[in-house]
Amino acid sequence: MNITKLQIDGQAFYLDEAQDVDVLQSQIVEAASTSAAFVHFGTIAHGRVSVLVTPHLGVRFEVQERTEEEVAEWEAHPPVIDSSMLEL
The domains of the chain are located at: 2-68
Which of the two residues, 27 and 88, has the higher pLDDT score? Answer: 27
What's residue 10's pLDDT? Answer: 86
Average confidence (pLDDT) over 38-54: 94
At residue 8's C-alpha, the angle toward residues 70 and 58, to 5°, is 140
pTM of the model: 0.80
Is the confidence at residue 68, as pLDDT, over 70? Answer: yes
**What's the confidence (pLDDT) of residue 86?**
46
Question: Quick one: pLDDT at residue 88?
Answer: 43
Query: What whole-number distance in Å separates Cα of residue 47 and Cα of residue 26?
Result: 21
